[in-house]
A and B are shown apart, each in its own frame.
Chain A
Amino acid sequence: MRQAALGELEQTANQQQLDELRVKYLGKKGALTEILRGMGALSAEERPVIGQVANEVRAAIEGVISAKQEEYRKAETANKLRAETIDVTLPGRPVPLGSVHPLNKVIQEVEDIFIGMGYQVAEGPEVEQDYYNFEALNLPKNHPARDMQDSFYITEEILMRTHTSPVQVRTMERMKGEVPVKIICPGKVYRRDDDDATHSHVFTQIEGLVIDRGIRMSDLKGTLLQFVREMFGQETKIRMRPSFFPFTEPSAEVDVTCMMCGGSGCRTCKQSGWLEILGSGMVHPRVLEMSGYDPNIYSGFAFGMGVERIAMLKYGIDDIRHFYMNDLRFLRQFARV
């Protein structure tokens, strides 16, 4: 019987057949049960022997059944999981992601570098008094340098600021002669330019100002070098060129190693290897005087950069108007770290 049972069990293909065999051999009317039930008719000597044999047969059958059962369960689970298979290449459900405007991305980056160097971020009005925008910056009325930046006036004394420098003046006034002054001033500025690929009647500047005792032009150079290295990479070099701003003396234009070609020369840098990105200089003593700092005791430096220019170089953007047209196909490109 054992042979027969094990042989039949071997042939089963599914849980149902297995259950049938269990009933056939081990059920209440099963073959083995019948044998055990018939043991009463046996002699006292035969009973333990047969009993033992019967139990061994039962154990063997049960063992095979449970092994088979485990096998079927596994197979069933595997089938179920197989049926649940999905296409992992289908697109994921979007978790919406927008982006900070590229100009603000650049501003935040510059701010963070200077905050790390101990600067405060200062702001001031976009509609300014002529005094703060020009006069206090050594640009009296009728000064020829006012030609450099044709302005949007509102009244004779009120205009859209043409640079963020008035924030420097306001900060110095507020500090009432205290040092050190260490600020950067980001913000929108306005000039009468026709909008084209390289001009915009509104654009963004970041200026910096430091005033303390014993500030030297070499400190300006060192500060800007540290900044451009953090901004554009540790290999970046700077080069200064004498220039003119009414509110600084000496004044300098600052070129940095072209980030497109690393200085070997390309179209962006007109083969020079350098890109002009900053204006800077030592604060003009007249500006210090007007804001309550004695130029014989204090000195300082100032610098300024155009955010659009930096963003255009950094991202390879060819038209300044993109920043203000807000074409989403443009803006979405900046939804990245």
Chain B
Amino acid sequence: MKVSLKWLSDYVDVSGVAAEDLAERITRSGIEVDSVEERNQGVSGVVVGHVVSREQHPDADKLSVCKVDVGSGKLLQIVCGAKNVAAGQKVPVALVGANLPDGLKIKRAKLRGVESQGMICSARELGLNDRLLPKELQEGILVLPEDAAVGTDVVALLALDDQVLEFDLTPNRSDCLSMLGAAYEVAAILSRGVKLPEPGELPSTGSGRAADQVRVGITATEQCSHYAARLIEGVRIAPSPLWLQNRLMAAGVRPINNIVDITNFVMLEYGQPLHAFDADRIRGGRIDVRLAQAGERIQTLDDVERTLAPDMLVIADGERAVAIAGVMGGAATEVTAGTTRILLESARFDGGSVRKTSRRLGLRSEASLRFEKQVDAQAVIPALERAAALMCAIAGGRAADGIVEAKVGEPAPLTVNLTLARINGHLGTDLSAAEVRAIFERLHFRCELVGADGFAVHVPSRRGDITRDVDLIEEIARLYGYDNIPTSLMSGVTTPGSLTREQAVRRAIRNLLSLSGLQETTTYSFTHPSQIAEYPGLYGEARPIGLAMPMSEERSVLRTSLIPHLLDTAAYNRNRNVDDVLVFELGRVFLSDEAQPTKLPDEHWHLAVLLTGKKHSAHWSGKAEAVDFYDAKGILDKICTYLGVTDAKYTPIQPAGLHPGRSAEVAIGGGAGAGSERLGWIGQLHPALAEAKDLDATYVLEIDLGVLIRHADFHIGYRALPRYPAISRDLAVVVGRDAAVGDLLAKIKETGGDLLESVQVFDLYTGEHVGAGNKSVAFSLVYRHEGRTLTDEEVSKAHEAIVQALATTFGAQLRA
């Protein structure tokens, strides 16, 4: 809302306060003032001139030479380049020595040999927002009204000695979508009075009661609570007087003609939108406020033919819809140059209904904006009367007697009770009853004392945002000044603060991985459906949830895996010559078994890791190695170890998106047997996919943190340090190439039993020495007994048993 201080001064005295200070005080009291615009952008020395004659410049086709009377007693010769300059016009003349915006100074000049003693100005040259002017005035010089007095300073004439405050209103303060609302606000801040406009007497048509010429009814009583109209006759459509145009332009509204300008002016003044119909084009002598019929059509003022839905509110005459209530008028009853009789509407439509209709039609206007936020019930009639009076005064109209109206109920006046104890208890202040009362007076809220410390506050209808005691407490707080509220610390019981176990684990993993050299990423939750198709993730069967109205297909469904965006991250960095990408993300994926969700999806916290490129940056001491599967697996091992998970089992799988020979499902729990649960996947990205994204060999893993935490062991139990010596034996066996080392290890542990303290794989060899189709695996075994020193014989027996078991189960042969 643009609030002109000049206009505002009609209702409240703002003298003695600089515009900037006022803006700051308004902001600090609750309405943010976005900007203070000086309307005069640096104009001085520009006066009204009368173009006495205009002749063609002798040497330039596009220039005119004008003789202009500026009231100095002597005609000025001015060369002008505008097409629209003509003899007889009143125009703004920048005299020699005048200043214009952007530091332009007018000097005596010669244009193609002809002397020019000043300049005739366009609107833009005067710093006006020329988009608010008719086209012809945007292109040429600004033509002033004929009655403008020669020699008058244009700054005064155009009311440029003004500042405009731009209010950035929160939705609750729609009362300040009006100059009067702004006036009440400023009056409260400055502790000053408010002066309301007085419409005065309306000249009568003498043609009797308006109600005899047009009847008004409300059929849609839920959508409209009050409809009032006046019939004004004998108006003459013309441009508005300059003062009115100046006001509208200061408010950023384009002047059209006197009737339309008056409806706009009063809307800005009272916050009550009005509509003027050409009364001669209203058929059947009646207005009905009703819902549209199915398929009903109307051509609106913007010349678009629109089909209405049955829940849209319309204004209908005896035959058809003539306006979409509160949204836009119809072309058929539009006020035109020849209009003489006006049916002026002032009504109260339901905000929700207007909002729905204007959204569905994509039509939003200053009027719909105000109706949506619910207009003041007490402004309907004063605004109607004000506009009617202006139409008579400005457009030469006369009013038929009386207001024609229909009403549904009467809004009850609102009284809100509150006590001093409640105010101070809520704010932590120590206000007195007198201080509180003074604040209500500043707000122009009538208030009565009730009992020792109570108030009964009569809330004016213009403040629809105030419905209960806390709303009044806010009014008190903001006018008392938030800065004056003390700071205190809560009393009451102290509470222990903490993270939940799950939160603590997420944090621990985040720190563990980042300190291990991985970079944490955060990617978008929305993704492209094709990304889910190419990498189905852990939940191939889950249906991705789609947004009803995505902003782009790129971001139209909720992710079911973190991997696709990590792949994007790798590709993004690769495109920027960052080839080594070791990253992870902790985030949620969204899973649903429904195509059209009727309940909230399952949100799972996942961890995903992606590795591609080199393990670390180049170093002088040796070549940096490329990452491989076992780097990824090492990370997962580290996480499992950190969380006390010791039974992770890797099973080869061949899922879409991953390398068929280098992928595994990981299960934990249940001693890696029955009762185990799928933790996630690990593997090499399918080379075709990697190629498509221009990536080197890329390894990914994704696990469900919920599963991990369910099987985590948070208990650390000390075990006594060994007291008896250990005996180490190495074992190298040759087995078929397909034998899984994990299975060999499991067999060794199983066979070694309690005596076997640990076993490590320390070498793996394939090649000519072990024969094609074979591999050699070397283990380092450590034997120990808790209670005594083992003998060589005991160890040899146990070791031999292991060799036997491997031979029986895997056909393993001791390597020579």
Bound CA–CA A188/B478 (angstroms): 32
Verify B616–A284 contact, CB threshold 8 A: no
Verify A104–B520 contact, CB threshold 8 A: yes
Bound CA–CA A154/B600 (angstroms): 10
- Given A202-B524, A242-B29: A218 and B515 within 8 A (CB)? no
Verify B474–A216 contact, CB threshold 8 A: no
A326 interfacial contact with B, CB 8 Å: yes
B513 interfacial contact with A, CB 8 Å: yes
> A103 contacts which chain B residues (CB < 8 A)?
522
Verify B490–A212 contact, CB threshold 8 A: yes
The residue on A at minimum CB distance from B621 is A93
Cβ distance B394 to chain A, nearest Cβ, rounded Å: 33
Bound CA–CA A213/B493 (angstroms): 11
Verify A142–B488 contact, CB threshold 8 A: no
Verify A218–B428 contact, CB threshold 8 A: yes
Bound CA–CA A214/B488 (angstroms): 12
B110 interfacial contact with A, CB 8 Å: no
Bound CA–CA A201/B550 (angstroms): 11
> A142 contacts which chain B residues (CB < 8 A)?
351-352, 355-356
Within 8 A of A (CB), among B251-303: none
> B452 contacts which chain A residues (CB < 8 A)?
none
Within 8 A of A (CB), among B529-576: 545-551, 555, 558, 569, 572-573, 576
Bound CA–CA A215/B500 (angstroms): 26
> B172 contacts which chain A residues (CB < 8 A)?
145, 244, 246
Within 8 A of A (CB), among B678-715: none
Verify B428–A192 contact, CB threshold 8 A: no
> B427 contacts which chain A residues (CB < 8 A)?
216-218, 250
Verify B525–A202 contact, CB threshold 8 A: yes
Bound CA–CA A152/B545 (angstroms): 12
- Given A284-B470, A327-B572: A126 and B372 within 8 A (CB)? no
Which stretch from A9-17, A73-81, A222-230 is at the chain B interface? A222-230
**A97, A155, A242, A244 — most chain B CB neighbours (10 Å):** A242
- Given A99-B519, A155-B597, A250-B473: A94 and B617 within 8 A (CB)? yes
B453 interfacial contact with A, CB 8 Å: no
> B596 contacts which chain A residues (CB < 8 A)?
155
> B522 contacts which chain A residues (CB < 8 A)?
101, 103-104, 323-324, 326
Verify B171–A148 contact, CB threshold 8 A: yes
Cβ distance B425 to chain A, nearest Cβ, rounded Å: 7
A120 interfacial contact with B, CB 8 Å: yes
Selected from A155, A214, A250, the residue in CB contact (under 8 A) with B491 is A214
Q: By the criterion of a CB under 8 Å from any partner CB, how many residues of chain A are at the interface?
A: 88
Verify A250–B477 contact, CB threshold 8 A: yes
> B55 contacts which chain A residues (CB < 8 A)?
none
Within 8 A of B (CB), among A216-256: 216-219, 221-223, 225-226, 239-244, 246, 249-252
Cβ distance B468 to chain A, nearest Cβ, rounded Å: 7
Cβ distance A182 to chain B, nearest Cβ, rounded Å: 5
A2 interfacial contact with B, CB 8 Å: no
Verify B373–A144 contact, CB threshold 8 A: yes
Verify A219–B497 contact, CB threshold 8 A: no
B603 interfacial contact with A, CB 8 Å: yes
B507 interfacial contact with A, CB 8 Å: yes
A119 interfacial contact with B, CB 8 Å: yes
Bound CA–CA A214/B32 (angstroms): 30
B151-176 vs A, Cβ < 8 Å mask (1 yes, 0 no): 00000000000000000001111100
Bound CA–CA A238/B247 (angstroms): 39
Verify A328–B497 contact, CB threshold 8 A: no
B521 interfacial contact with A, CB 8 Å: yes
Q: Beyond the given A118-B495, A299-B425, could you list 7 further A-B residue pairs with CB under 8 A, ordered by the A residue number?
A: A101-B520, A117-B497, A125-B603, A188-B588, A244-B173, A323-B522, A326-B572
> Can you list 18 pairs linking A and B with CB atoms under 8 Å apart?
A95-B517, A98-B520, A108-B507, A121-B498, A144-B372, A147-B171, A152-B549, A153-B548, A154-B597, A180-B493, A182-B495, A216-B427, A216-B428, A217-B426, A218-B486, A250-B477, A327-B573, A328-B573
